[in-house]
Amino acid sequence: MPPALRPLSEADRLEALRAYQVLDTAPEQAFDDIVALASLICGTPIALVSLVDEDRQWFKARIGMEEGETSRDIAFCAHAVLGSEPMVVPDATLDPRFADSPLVTTNPRIRFYAGAPLTTADGHAIGSMCVMDREPRQLTEEQLDSLRILSRQVVGMLELRRISKLLAGALERSKMLSGMLPICAYCKRVRDDQDYWREVESYFKAHSPVEFSHAICPACVTKHFPDLL
């Protein structure tokens, strides 16, 4: 089978995907519930939350599929991310894009596929909320609408997950920088939580995104470099 074309904004799409820091993470009940619901609504034995990386599709959640990922070259979802509406393949054996795919000719012997793109707020399709069957079939309009809704829910969950991680990191940095900070009265080193004395610059670089530059205050110029005045 010929591999799917790459989106024109592929570099930005991959950056959007990786910003979620979700690839290769452990299963999460919220995503598992989504695929179970998709399978139930669409009446299909297989449902996936598939994320299309540079060379593979990886499944954040799956039901009815043993593999945790496949090559992007054979992925139905690699085609689904090229559009903004659900992609439906009623019978993969009759579609030249997929007829000779190992996903069709060998296990899991896919015949039917429907996938709604997981589209971010910036318009990047990072994967697909998809359902599959081993028999040719179609979905009703209500089932297709449900697939669209579930795809939006997945993106919302990914965004909430991303923001939660950012807030947790910010809170951790805030805790590290709060309270009393021992500082040497002579050399001005500070003592960290492991009871090590460190340069001020080193301490703050380790505990916050602060960048340092060096200058001389007016009082020190007067004291140490009076000739400059």
The pLDDT value recorded for residue 188 is 65
Contacts 24+ apart (CB under 8 A), 28-33: 28/60, 28/61, 30/157, 31/60, 31/61, 31/154, 31/157, 32/61, 32/63
Residues 141-178: tens digit of each pLDDT: 999 999 999 999 999 999 998 888 877 766 666 555 55
Map out the domains of the chain as residue ranges. Answer: 10-167, 179-228
Q: CB burial class (10 A; 0-12, 13-18, 19+) of residue 229?
A: exposed
Structure tokens at 166: 């950012």
The pLDDT value recorded for residue 69 is 96
Please give the class, per CATH, of domain 10-167: alpha beta
Residues 103-127: tens digit of each pLDDT: 999 999 999 999 999 999 999 999 9
Question: What's the rounded Cα separation, in Å, for the pair 31 and 157?
Answer: 8
188 versus 129: the higher-pLDDT residue is 129
Q: Which helix (H) or strand (E) holds 52?
A: strand 46-52
Residues 46-96: tens digit of each pLDDT: 999 999 999 999 999 999 999 999 999 999 999 999 999 999 999 999 999
The pLDDT value recorded for residue 167 is 78
Write down the mean pLDDT value for the chain: 86
The pLDDT value recorded for residue 94 is 96
Number of helices (H) and strands (E) in the chain: give both, helices first: 7, 8
Question: What's the rounded Cα separation, in Å, for the pair 224 and 146?
Answer: 73
Would you say the pTM of this structure is higher than 0.85?
A: no
Which band of pLDDT confidence, cut at 50, 70 and 90, is reported for residue 215? low
**pLDDT(203) > 70:** no
The pLDDT value recorded for residue 186 is 66
Which band of pLDDT confidence, cut at 50, 70 and 90, is reported for residue 221? low
φ and ψ at residue 204, rounded to 5 degrees: -70, -30
